A and B are shown apart, each in its own frame.
Chain A
Amino acid sequence: MDLISILVDIAILIIILILRALYTNWLAIKLKWESSFRRGFLVNLAWIILLVVISVLIIFIAPPIFIELSLTVDEINSIYLIISFIIFIINVIIGIFIVHSFYEKEYWGSSVVSIIVVISERVIMVIIQASIYFFFQVLLTEGFYLFTPF
């Protein structure tokens, strides 16, 4: 990862954080919870930090293990498929617990907020990825919002 992609990542991370905070705040208000932009921002900050830590850990830990075990490309792809799915589930679970602890509300509401945020973000990311690939012929596999492999 070069310096430019890290800077682009950080800029995208900040924009996403603000948008997620606004969105979470709106969802919480719709659920008739006591909410503010500040609380939404803190929820998403904690959520993203945890997710970035897990993602970075895997990005740095997984490749040396694969090399040590001398896995084939097909085996590595299969493992990444499983890891990406596990990270997706962990993302939702982290979201549920963070929303629950910050808003102090029931789990079903926290699950709904967490799932809506994760799914909406995923749909938007798919559009962005597809557009970048189609218009610039660039397949972003690293450095883009840190979560790209997942």
Chain B
Amino acid sequence: MSTTIFITINIIFGYVILFGGIFLLKFFTDKFECRKPYLTAILVNVIWFLIMFFVLSFLSGLITSYLITIGADSDLFAFVNIINSVIILIMNILVIALLIKVFYKTELKDSIFLSLAVISIQVFIRIVVANVLSIIFTLTTGGYSSFYIFQFI
């Protein structure tokens, strides 16, 4: 299997996990007794996805093109990439917390907790998927590849 297949599988799983957030959100809000129909969870996730896709991709693109313009070395690229991923993660948590606050009428601290729970479980599943893909990749090709920024410490 080629690297492209592994990357494609990883991207597909990424989207499945991302929209699996609908079920996670529904589960956690039900547990917190903020019962709302699935439609609300779908709406929160779609708005969140759109914000993430357009705003954050745009910002990441800007940073990358700036680094290319100044001729940054590979170390700086890797460092900025990690910091960028962490900032995106924090922004994700804040955006979904605000959306939960608006749509479910919860307190800010509770919505931050709910958001933290959803995002952490998604990151956990992504780490599991990335590790399994890396192991299969290593065993089949003999090469080494990382599929997710938080996959290894």
Chain A interfacial positions (CB closer than 8 Å to B): 27, 30, 74, 77-78, 81-82, 84-85, 88-89, 92, 108, 112, 115-116, 118-120, 122-123, 125-127, 129-131, 133-134, 147-148, 150
Q: Is the CB of A119 within 8 A of B124?
A: yes
Q: What is the CA–CA distance of A24 and B117 in the complex, to the nearest angstrom?
A: 13
Min Cβ gap A135→B in Å is 9
Q: Is the CB of A30 within 8 A of B109?
A: yes
Min Cβ gap A120→B in Å is 7
Chain A residues with Cβ under 8 A from B128's Cβ? 89
Task: Kindly state whether residue B83 has any CB partner on chain A within 8 Å.
Answer: yes
The 8 closest A-B pairs by CB, nearest first: A134-B79, A30-B113, A85-B131, A119-B120, A130-B82, A116-B120, A78-B138, A119-B123
Interface string of B104-129 (1 = CB under 8 A from A): 00000110010011001101100110
Task: Give 18 pairs: A residue, B residue, CB < 8 Å, sorted on A.
Answer: A30-B109, A78-B135, A81-B131, A81-B134, A81-B135, A81-B138, A115-B121, A116-B120, A118-B124, A119-B123, A119-B150, A123-B150, A125-B153, A126-B149, A126-B150, A126-B153, A131-B79, A150-B153
Q: Is the interface of B mostly helix, strand, loop or mixed?
A: helix
Q: What is the CA–CA distance of A119 and B124 in the complex, to the nearest angstrom?
A: 7
Q: A112-B117, A118-B124, A119-B124 are in contact. Are A85 and B135 (CB under 8 A)?
A: yes
Question: What's the tally of chain B residues with a CB closer than 8 Å to chain A?
Answer: 33
- Nearest A residue to B81 by beta-carbon distance? A130
Q: Is the CB of B150 within 8 A of A122?
A: yes
- Nearest B residue to A27 by beta-carbon distance? B113
Q: What is the CA–CA distance of A74 and B117 in the complex, to the nearest angstrom?
A: 37
Contact of B117 among A77, A84, A88, A116 (CB under 8 A): A116
Q: What is the CA–CA distance of A27 and B116 in the complex, to the nearest angstrom?
A: 10
Chain B interfacial positions (CB closer than 8 Å to A): 28, 31, 75-76, 78-79, 82-83, 86, 89, 109-110, 113, 116-117, 120-121, 123-124, 127-128, 131-132, 134-135, 138-139, 142, 144, 149-150, 152-153
Q: A27-B113, A127-B82 are in contact. Are A115 and B135 (CB under 8 A)?
A: no
Chain A residues with Cβ under 8 A from B89's Cβ? 123
Q: What is the CA–CA distance of A89 and B78 in the complex, to the nearest angstrom?
A: 26
Contact of B121 among A112, A123, A125, A148 (CB under 8 A): A112
- Nearest B residue to A131 by beta-carbon distance? B79
Q: Is the CB of A84 within 8 A of B152?
A: yes
Min Cβ gap A70→B in Å is 18
Query: Beyond the given A92-B124, A129-B153, A131-B79, could you list 13 further A-B residue pairs with CB under 8 A, ordered by the A residue number?
Result: A30-B109, A30-B110, A77-B144, A81-B131, A84-B131, A84-B152, A115-B120, A116-B120, A122-B153, A126-B86, A126-B149, A130-B83, A150-B153
